[in-house]
Amino acid sequence: MIKIDLPRVIASPGTRTFEREQLVRAQSALDRGENHNRVLAQLEASLRPLALRNNLTPDVADLYLLLIHDPAAQQFDFAAHRISDVQHQDRAIFAGGCFWCMVEPFETMPGIVSVLSGYTGGTTAHPTYEQVKGGHTGHVEAVEVIFDTRQVTYDQLLQLYWQLSDPTDNSGQFSDRGANYRPVIFTTSAAQMAAATAARAHLAAHNPYRQPIAVDIRPATTFWPAENYHQQFYRKFPQRAKHLERERKQYLFWKRVTGKLLPKITSD
């Protein structure tokens, strides 16, 4: 028997009205003692049209994966994302477009402890994906990286960041348009601010781009974790992640052949 927490998803602020109506109807049927499997099958059928278009809100999408017994219905261990060694660990925050594409390159880098997708830089507490995507909170999609300073330096993280983003585009990243996708480096200390500022100046001085560097550098504010559905997206949905990565590469290629970027981004 599938164990799902309908009340939690019903209460989620990110759940849309139509989704909530289906969930409430299912919960009421269960409360009346109707057949559990039949009720869940009916719920799955009512959500399926939106699921097939990848248009369910995050918590409902997680629930749907449970209903169809999809292996992607896995929970991220949010409690494990923390600095456990204050002497040898630090955190860095980068925004460079859709956070789905930002996790794997950092997470697979030696010395990385944990990578968390989330929202930061805005004014709304506990924002939902729908709110951020709608541009109502001032937040950007970002990743928070906890790293072991004995194995990888902040400068090395910066070098990787320049390869993942288009630092000349402050109106979004690649095919993702809007202020919530703009590139920003959020620094957690004076040392990080100095390093990020120097790295940006070095990049601009060596002029590997045809347009000015537009990446903002700001002191970090509260980093709000994104919903479970968004965590480690590349592991749960490898085909969709590969498709997004291809789109990024094609977009960069287009910018280079149209003269908006030079043929190669240098890291000297």
Are residues 136 and 34 both part of a single domain? no
pTM, 2 dp: 0.88
Beta-bridge mates of residue 219: 187
Q: Does 219 lie in the same domain as 113?
A: yes
Catalytic residue among 50, 95, 98, 244: 98
Q: In which domain, by residue range, is 37 found?
A: 6-67
Task: Return all residues near 121 (Cβ < 8 A) that are at least 6 apart.
Answer: 95, 138, 139, 140, 142, 184, 186, 218, 221
Within a domain: residue 268?
no
Q: Are residues 140 and 185 in the same domain?
A: yes
Q: Which residues of 9-38 are buried (b: 16+ CB within 10 A; e: fewer)?
A: bbebebbeeebbebbeebbebbeeeeeeee
Bridge-based pairing of strands 112-120 and 224-225 is: antiparallel
User: Is 98 considered catalytic here?
Assistant: yes
Classify residue 190: in a domain, yes or no: yes
15 and 118 assigned to the same domain: no
Q: Is 1 exposed, middle or buried (0-12, 13-18, 19+ CB in 10 A)?
A: exposed
Is 159 contained in some domain?
Answer: yes
Alpha-carbon torsion angle 265, 195, 81, 122, nearest 10: -90
Please check whether residues 48 and 114 belong to one and the same domain.
no
Helix, strand or coil for residue 56? coil
Domain match, 106 and 189 both: yes
* Co-location of 132 and 216 in the same domain: yes
Please check whether residue 148 lies inside any domain of the structure. yes
Q: What is the pLDDT along the chain (268 residues), one digit of tens a residue?
A: 567 899 999 999 999 999 999 999 999 999 999 999 999 999 999 999 999 999 999 999 999 999 999 999 889 999 999 999 999 999 999 999 889 989 999 999 999 999 999 999 999 999 999 999 988 899 999 999 999 999 999 999 999 999 888 888 888 777 778 889 999 999 999 999 999 999 999 988 886 677 888 899 999 999 999 999 999 999 999 888 888 878 777 777 776 666 555 544 444 3
Answer yes or no: is 18 within a domain: yes
Same domain, 34 and 115: no
Q: Is residue 57 one of the residues assigned to a domain?
A: yes
Measured CA to CA, the distance from residue 6 to residue 45 in angstroms comes to 16
Residue 156 neighbours by CB under 8 Å, 6+ apart: 109
Flag whether 267 is in a domain: no
Structural domain includes residue 263 = no
How many domains does the chain fold into?
A: 2
Q: Do 48 and 84 fall within a single domain?
A: no
